[in-house]
Amino acid sequence: MFVEAAPVMAAHSEDQPAGEPHRAARARRRLLAGLVPYLYLLPALAAIGLWVYWPLAQTFRLSLVRWNLLPTTSPADVGLANYRQLLRLPQLYQALGTTGWYMLGLAAFGVALPVLIGAVARGLGGRAQAFYRGVLFLPVLVSPIAAATLWSFLLAPNGGAVNSLLGHLGVAGRNWLFDPGTAPGALIAIAGWKVLGASVLIVMAGLAAIGPEYYEAASLDGAGPLRRFAEITVPLLSPTVLFLVASAVLLAEGQLMFPLIDALTGGGPAHATTDVYYLLYSFGFTSFDVGQASAAAVLFFLAFALVAVPVLALLDRLSRNQG
Amino acid sequence: MFQLLDPAGRPPAPAPAARLSRPARRRPARRSAAVVRTTLLLIAGALVAAPLIWLVLAVFRPPGALFAQALPVPPRLANIVHALSALPWGPLLAHTVTIAACVSLGQLLTGLLAAYGLCCWQFPGRRLVLLVVTVSWLVPFQVTVLPNYVLISRLGLLNSVAGVIVPQLSSAFAVLLLRQHLSDFPAELLDAARTDGLSSWAILWRVIVPNIAPSLAALEILLFIGAWNEYLWPLVIYSSPDSVLQVGIRDLLNVDNVDYGALLAAAGLATLPLLALYLLLQRRVVDAYVRSGLR
């Protein structure tokens, strides 16, 4: 196509000496044409810049001040004092540990189990699959707050469905959400219920995109189910798995656990369910300590980036290899 | 193993001996695999569905017997009546609908324009733009919430619907999803439109949008669900008993003597509009959602 276009352009440039203004006009038009994609990108990029990157920079700046959010007072520079104070708080380390458990739990419910279920469900056909997909998608519709409501009813210590079910099995019931030993696990289970079905759907789609001919060829080659899983499913499914790690673990830790904690436990009992995001939220909007909250935000963001950047880089590389 | 594929991508036909012996050897294994598969699927499906079924049953029980285990026959509406009087539904619904509609449509529009720019042009900085968008997808909102709050309060938008809407008008998730939809768009159609002399703006609205309208509708529903269910930002920026549904329901949960009947009914009622939207375009919504995982 470009080869054909070249002579046409050459013919044009032979006409060129006739008009100098034409060349300027054409250059201007070419410049404008070059701007077109940027114009389409402008609204989204401006919004992302103003509401994500600019606040991110502000967070760094606010981590070096003391301020109580009141518009009548102004922030006072305190250097690294907020960080020093933060690192001395035992709550910080407890919250980091809790966050680690939440992420492990989300990885189990949002990645590992869905891969297992999806791999087994492979080949479910027709109408059964459509119905099954419809059921699995339902928790996506249920807001985290509605899920918290529903589960606080199911987990109620006296007469709740979970305890009566356990009673039938001869297991003693617990006060799940008010016992420091069980509350974090209960929150993980609720979050797990929210992410499980959706993740299974994503895994099933990822598996469906792998052509059956790979499996047929491998079977003919004498590869057993385990070898087929390890040598076909794992490599070809890894972009999907990484996407789930990003959305069902990294994103869900912030977006899903927060409303559950806020609605069900308020971070307690005895700070047992406070994760890093809830901690920095309470610094900011309960204690109105902007400096402390921002210092915590910076620390958590850097720690988060340490995990998220490799995931994103790998995701990018895998999707480019296959796309 | 891949060398076994013939040029058409099909595996070669098995040798006659294998064809005779294999099915006979495999049948019992295959049947037990089917049993395992069905069992596992049923368990997963039941785990997901059971709490929702329990919710529906509880809502129709008499308020004094919420924890009963029999079927609620005849169904009682007392819990729903209590829920209707426990919350200021008028303002809550008006605010929530306005916010969800504006946010989702804004995200769809900015996302569509950005995805169009990313998909249909090669330009300097394209990879950088993609990186900037993708990274913003993963920046935890809690990290930027304080400066956002300060900015909104300086703009005088605290405790307003506009304050909730404005910062959410663009979403990296929408850009990335739409980019995937557009990258599958047949290039021949675009080339034909260009040859016809259509401007890029006309191509977007007269060629692309009509062709992907069903996917756009499904995405709009997904974004609407996300905005409807958003909790942290409305809580921070507009925390009053009549702000949005999610905040209102949370207030019912955080009292000393929780009226579970009314609470469950309220949670159910707040989910019904989403269920209705979802049922409109069920298959497409699930497809659009699931595609986010296909890279």
- DSSP string across A157-217: TTT-HHHHHHHHTTPPP--GGGSTTTHHHHHHHHHHHHHHHHHHHHHHHHHHTS-HHHHHH
Across the interface, of B67, B140, B258, the residue whose CB is closest to A254 is B140
Domain parsing of chain B, residue ranges: 15-59, 82-291
B137, B139, B168: which is closest to A298 by C-alpha?
B139
DSSP letters, B190-231, are: HHHHHHTT--HHHIIIIIIHHHTHHHHHHHHHHHHHHHHH--
User: CB of B189 within 8 A of CB of B238?
Assistant: no
CATH number for the domain running over A88-322 = 1.10.3720.10
Average confidence (pLDDT) over A93-106: 95
* Partner residue facing B293 (CB), from A150, A243, A255: A243
Q: Of B36, B253, B39, whose CA–CA distance to A177 is shortest?
A: B253
CA A153, chain centre distance (Å): 27
The minimal CB distance from B148 to the residues A45, A55, A298 is found for A55
Q: Nearest chain B residue to A220 by CA: give it.
A: B14
- The pLDDT tens digits for B32-52 are 777 877 887 888 889 899 999
Q: Where would I find the H helices in B60-87?
A: 78-86
* DSSP conformational letter for A71: T
| From A56, A152, A154, residue closest to B253, measured CB to CB | A152
Inform me whether the C-beta atom of residue B142 falls under 8 Å from chain A C-beta atoms: yes
pLDDT band at A23 (very low <50, low <70, confident <90, very high): confident
pLDDT range class, residue B295, cuts 50, 70, 90: low
Chain B residues 88-127 with CB within 8 Å of chain A: 109-111, 113-114, 116-118, 120-121, 123, 126
pLDDT tens digits, A192-212: 999 998 899 899 888 888 888
A268-299 residue pLDDT tens: 899 999 999 999 999 988 888 999 999 999 99
User: pLDDT tens digits for A39-56?
Assistant: 999 999 999 999 999 999
CA distance A124 to A190: 27
Residues of B within 8 A of A211 (CB-CB) are 9
Mean pLDDT of chain B: 85
Measured between CB atoms, which of B5, B48, B271 is closest to A217?
B5
- pLDDT band at A148; cut points 50, 70, 90: very high
Chain B residues 55-74 within an 8 A CB cutoff of chain A: 55, 58, 66-67, 69
Q: Which two tokens stand for residue B244?
A: 């949005």
Is the pLDDT score of B288 beyond 80?
yes
pLDDT number for residue B12: 39
pLDDT score recorded for residue A5:
34
Residues of A in contact with B129 (CB under 8 A): 41, 45
pLDDT at B281 over 90: no
Residue A90 confidence class, pLDDT cut points 50, 70, 90: very high
Separation between Cα atoms, residue B17 and residue B95, nearest integer Å:
70
A239, A319 contact by CB (below 8 A): yes
Which chain B residues in 190-209 lie under 8 Å from chain A, judged by CB atoms? 200
Residue of A nearest to B252 (CA): A149
- Average the pLDDT over A99-125 and give the result: 87
pLDDT at B1: 31
pLDDT digits (tens, 9 = 90+) for A307-323: 888 888 888 787 776 54
Residue contact B142–A51, C-beta within 8 A: no
B-chain residues within 8 Å CB-CB of A216? 11
**How is domain B82-291 classified at the CATH fold level?**
MetI-like fold (1.10.3720)
> What is the ipTM score, two decimals?
0.86
Inspect the interface and report whether the beta carbons of A145 and B231 lie closer than 8 Å.
yes
Q: φ and ψ at B138, to 5 degrees? A: -100, -5
Provide, for chain A, the percentages of residues in helix, strand and coil under a 3-state DSSP scheme, each rounded to the nearest 5. 80, 0, 20
Is B44 near chain A, with CB under 8 Å? yes
